[in-house]
């Protein structure tokens, strides 16, 4: 069985981190791993 994009069984998906993604929180980042996206934000 082959994987999409011909990725090897032990290979990680591409990871992209965009810091300061949102304007208002003190800290925020958009993390993308393959097609999965996670938005992290924190305020103190």
3 pLDDT tier (thresholds 50, 70, 90): confident
Domain residue ranges of the chain, discontinuous segments joined by +: 4-42
Q: Where are the alpha helices (DSSP H) in the chain?
A: none
| Residues 19 and 32: beta-carbon distance below 8 Å | no
Q: Is the per-residue pLDDT at 5 higher than 90?
A: no
3-state secondary structure of 23: coil
What does the pLDDT look like over 10-34, one tens digit per residue?
888 889 999 999 999 999 999 999 8
| Whole-number pLDDT of residue 1 | 62
pTM, 2 dp: 0.74
Residue 37: beta bridge partners? Answer: 32
| Whole-number pLDDT of residue 16 | 98
Tokens of residue 43, six digits? 């305020």
């Amino acid at each position: 069985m082959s994987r999409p994009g011909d990725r090897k069984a032990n290979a990680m998906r591409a990871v992209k981190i965009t810091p300061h993604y949102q304007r208002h929180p003190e800290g925020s980042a958009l993390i993308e791993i393959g097609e999965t996206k996670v938005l992290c934000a924190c305020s103190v």
